[in-house]
Amino acid sequence: MATSIVTGVAGFIGSHLVEALLSQGEKVIGVDQFNDYYDPNLKRNNVAIFKDHPNFELIEGDIQALDWKALLNDAEVIYHQAAQAGVRASWGEGFRAYTERNINATQILLEVAKDAKQLKRFVFASTSSVYGDAETLPTSEAICPKPVSPYGITKLAAERLCQLYQHNFGVPFTALRYFTVYGPRQRPDMAFHKFFKAVIADEAIPIYGDGQQTRDFTFVSDAVAANLAAATAPAAIGEVFNIGGGSRVVLTEVLDTMEQIVGRPIRRNYVEKAMGDARHTAADVSKAKNLIGYQPKVPLAEGLKQEWDWIQSLYS
């Protein structure tokens, strides 16, 4: 039975990934620190679904303090999803958590991965934030990254570390640059979660800037499919892939779609543009399509409906 390790197992994407791996009959070791960046109870809920599965083992702890040599003994794939997320919190005093959890933790994993005999793939969860305000839309992987947030800087640094370890030690890494992933279990600091929660509380939702910013939104099951493909496709080793949802949408149009889903008007409160937020994001996913067969399947309206159903069950 193949063994995979998923870091950030209690997180949004990590928990969905584990469900998919277990359903494929794999053994999964999940690692999570359950830190308080957001409510740890939400993370406990995320893992409750598969916590008692016979092929699942949960390890609670800081990545930098674990015995990775022992853990990696039989592992064939590492899905490194754990990170300090969030663009706006990465300024000021918060920055140290980003360097520790995004750069230092990744380096520790890579250092052990270089000597792991069974390891076939190291899948690193990166982000579209490495591009910043990209001049070309949709943006391809050939565009020079220019992060506009400290968060983006740390994720790019970790990506570059992966490349160094591949080049020097043959670590079989692949990096996936996620473009705004959404869906059930989305973190509470992310826009759609906040918007739907505000609808339930009958509060106005905060819109940063003029609402004309665009995003490429990726449903969580598409992000999971990208991970599974990147872990097995031979052509993925040493490559970086954009993982987007296939269409770029203006924020105000998203809100119109949300209004149709919730069946009532959504009040909007326009606030100042946030530092570090890119104005537009759009993924050119042709490389991922060609090399790993990636094909986003879930349209935005359908994905939003699934997230709304989950949000209602969470807060009802």
The tens digit of pLDDT for each residue in 26-66 reads 999 999 999 999 999 999 999 999 999 999 999 999 999 99
As a whole number of angstroms, the distance between CA 112 and CA 10 comes to 22
Q: Are strands 121-127 and 75-80 parallel, antiparallel or unpaired?
A: parallel
Respond yes or no on whether the N-terminal peptide bond of residue 265 is cis (omega within 30° of 0). Answer: no
Q: Residue 172's closest CA among 117, 126, 121?
A: 121
In the chain, DSSP finds a helix count (H) and a strand count (E) of 11, 13
Q: Which domains does the chain have, with CATH numbers?
A: 3-183+219-244+282-297 (3.40.50.720)
Q: Is the pLDDT of residue 112 over 90?
A: yes
Residue 151 among the catalytic residues: yes
Q: Is the dihedral of CA 207, 211, 215, 217 positive or negative?
A: positive
| pLDDT-based confidence at residue 273 (cuts at 50, 70, 90) | confident
Beta pairing partners, 56: 28
CA 110, 113, 119, 120 dihedral sign is: positive
Average pLDDT, the chain: 96
Which of 151, 165, 178, 182 is catalytic? The answer is 151
CA contacts within 13 A on the Cβ side of 5 = 28
